[in-house]
Amino acid sequence: MITPYYCDEWTKIYCGDCEDVIPQLDIKPDLILTDPPYVISTSGGGIGGQRKYLSDIKGFTDDGFNLDVLNYCDNWMCFCSKDQLIDLLVKASKQRWMLVTWNKPNPTPLTKGNYLPDTEYIVHSFASGHCYGGYSDKARYIVYPAQQNNLHPNEKPLPVMMKLVRVGSRDGDLILDPFMGSGTTAVAAKSLGRKCVCIEREERYCEIASKRLAQEYLPLNADGKEDSRTMMQEDFPNMSD
């Protein structure tokens, strides 16, 4: 039996490769919500190739992932790059699906003759009757600034993850995140009364996530510090239905 790196009433974190860890777990998740490695080329010269930003994310975004990890639940939400969209949409099309976008008003200024990198994609595949949340939660796009906390090169803002948790799950449900990063999915799940099992292969991020979850006050405020404020729809002043 594999031992959790961190465990509390709501969350378990396992340090290891998700393809090795998941088969050892006796769980039936109600939702897979994850932000896996993207398929993006970060090499090359010019303004993009020279920026420290690309150096920092190299290794997190250029390898992709095995889509079979999504087979453990028929209700899944997966962040992806444009290059991964076709494969994920083909996989999602076996049942109901939706393409949600996160639109950032403060993208990294890397253009080099192309569009701004201001949009990230989330593919949601779900069975009939498994799209939850309130009226405003079900908007197909989210407008929210990119994260500036630097806990992880690809960290997602907590309000974005909380919206997805509300749409993809109900109170008391179990969420699986096979690519945990700094633990924002787990923080969102715990804040909203969901249980969460997370897997991360790098111990430094397991440690960061464990410290976040061990704190009494969870949601992030505007300064990037964690407080007890409940994040509801007012955290999305620019989101339209």
pLDDT at position 184 over 90: yes
CB-CB contact of 134 with 166 (8 Å): yes
Task: Give the number of other Cβ atoms within 10 Å of residue 9's Cβ.
Answer: 6
**Residue 147 is assigned to a structural domain of this protein:** yes
Please name which of 70, 45, 41 lies closest in space to residue 57, comparing C-alpha atoms. 41
Residue 27 included in any domain: yes
* The pLDDT of residue 111: 73
Q: Where are the alpha helices (DSSP H) in 11-73?
A: 18-21, 46-50, 52-57
Give the pLDDT of residue 12.
97
Amino acid letter at 83?
Answer: D
CA angle 143, 148, 153 (to 5 degrees): 100
CA distance 163 to 136: 9
Residue pair 172/68 in contact (Cβ under 8 Å)? The answer is no
Residue-level pLDDT at 117: 87
Answer whether residue 178 shows pLDDT above 90. yes
pLDDT of residue 72: 95
pLDDT score of 153 = 67
Contacts of 136 (CB under 8 A, 6+ apart): 233, 236, 239, 241
User: Is the model's pLDDT at 177 over the cut of 80?
Assistant: yes
Say what the pLDDT of residue 181 is: 92
C-alpha torsion sign, points 226, 182, 42, 71: negative
Q: What percent of the chain has pLDDT over 90?
A: 66
How much is the average pLDDT of 69-74?
Answer: 95
Domain ranges, residue 122: 6-235
Q: How far apart are CA 241 and CA 224, in angstroms?
A: 27
Those residues whose C-beta lies under 8 Å from the C-beta of residue 28, and which sit 6 or more positions away, are 73, 174
pLDDT(66) > 60: yes
Q: Of the candidates 50, 92, 89, 99, which has an alpha carbon nearest to the alpha carbon of residue 74?
A: 92
The residue with greater pLDDT, 54 or 137, is 137
Cα-Cα-Cα-Cα dihedral sign, residues 100, 101, 102, 103: negative
Question: Is the residue at 35 inside a domain?
Answer: yes
Q: How far apart are CA 241 and CA 220, in angstroms?
A: 24
- Is residue 241 assigned to a domain? no
Predicted pLDDT at 109: 81
Does residue 1 lie in a domain region? no
230 in a structural domain: yes
Q: From CA 15, how far away is CA 205, in angstroms rounded?
A: 9
The CATH number of whichever domain residue 228 belongs to comes to 3.40.50.150
Indicate the number of domains in the chain.
1
Specify the DSSP class assigned to residue 220.
Answer: B
Domain membership of residue 240 (yes or no) is: no
Instruction: Indicate whether 234 pLDDT > 50.
Output: no
Q: In this predicted model, what pLDDT tens digit does every residue of 34-55 receive, in sequence order?
A: 999 887 655 444 434 433 333 3
- Residue 235 pLDDT > 70, yes or no? no
Range with the poorest average pLDDT among 17-26, 140-149, 184-193: 140-149
Query: Binning pLDDT at 50, 70 and 90, where does residue 189 land?
Result: very high
- Rounded mean pLDDT of the chain? 82
Higher model confidence: residue 128 or residue 43? 128
Question: In this structure, is residue 213 part of a structural domain?
Answer: yes
Report pLDDT for 41.
57
Does residue 113 or residue 78 have the better pLDDT?
Answer: 78
Looking at residue 48, its pLDDT comes to 41
